[in-house]
A and B are shown apart, each in its own frame.
Chain A
Amino acid sequence: MFFQLATSGIATGCAYALIALGFVMIWNTASVVNFAQGEFVVIAMFVALTCHVTLGWPLWMVLPLAVLLPAIVGYATERVVIRPVIGAAEMTIVTVTIGLQIVLSDAAKIIYGGQPYSFPPLIAGKPLSLAGIVVPRQSLVVIASMIVLAIGLHFLSQKTSFGKRLRAVSQDRETAKLMGIDVNRTIAQGFALSAAIAGFAGVLLAPIIYVSAGLGLPLLIKSFIAAIIGGFGSYIGALIGGLLIGVLDNLVGFYISSHYREVFTFLALILVLLFRPQGLFPHHR
Chain B
Amino acid sequence: MQPEAPVAGTPLLEVRQLAVNFGGIRALRDVHLDVREGEFVALIGANGAGKTTTLKAILNSVEIARGEIRFRGRSTVGIATHHLVRMGIGVVPEGRRVFPASSVIENLELGALERTPKGEAGAIMTNVFDLFPVLKDRRTQMAGSLSGGEQQMLAMGRALMGKPDLLLLDEPSMGLAPKFVDRIFEILAGLRNTKTTILLIEQNALMSLEIADRAFVIDQGKTIMSGKASDLIDDPKIAGAYLGRSDEQISHAD
Binding site for B on A (CB under 8 A): 161, 164-165, 167-168, 171-172, 174-183, 284
Q: How far is the CA of A167 from the CA of B106 in the complex (A)?
A: 10
Collect the chain B residues with CB atoms within 8 Å of residue A167's CB: 99, 101-102
Does B123 touch A at the CB level, under 8 Å?
A: no
**Chain B nearest CB, measured from A237 CB (Å):** 14
- Beyond A164-B109, A171-B99, A178-B81, 9 additional contacts (C-beta under 8 Å) are A161-B113, A168-B110, A171-B101, A174-B97, A177-B85, A178-B93, A179-B85, A180-B85, A180-B114
Q: How far is the CA of A171 from the CA of B106 in the complex (A)?
A: 13
Collect the chain A residues with CB atoms within 8 Å of residue B99's CB: 167-168, 171-172, 175
Collect the chain A residues with CB atoms within 8 Å of residue B83's CB: 180
The chain A residue sitting closest to B100, CB to CB, is: A171
9 contacts between A and B (CB under 8 A): A167-B99, A175-B99, A178-B81, A178-B85, A178-B97, A179-B82, A179-B111, A180-B162, A181-B110
**Chain B nearest CB, measured from A265 CB (Å):** 30
Does B138 touch A at the CB level, under 8 Å?
A: no
Q: Is the CB of A177 within 8 A of B110?
A: no
Collect the chain A residues with CB atoms within 8 Å of residue B111's CB: 179
**Chain A nearest CB, measured from B105 CB (Å):** 11
Q: Is the CB of B61 within 8 A of A181?
A: no
Given known pairs A165-B113, A175-B93, the reply for A180 and B82 (CB within 8 Å) is: yes
Contact bitstring B99-139, A, C-beta under 8 A = 1, else 0: 11110001001110111000000000000000000000000
Collect the chain A residues with CB atoms within 8 Å of residue B102's CB: 167-168, 171
**Chain A nearest CB, measured from B220 CB (Å):** 26
Does B91 touch A at the CB level, under 8 Å?
A: yes
The chain B residue sitting closest to A175, CB to CB, is: B97
Does B192 touch A at the CB level, under 8 Å?
A: no
The chain A residue sitting closest to B95, CB to CB, is: A175
Q: How far is the CA of A181 from the CA of B109 in the complex (A)?
A: 12
Does B26 touch A at the CB level, under 8 Å?
A: no
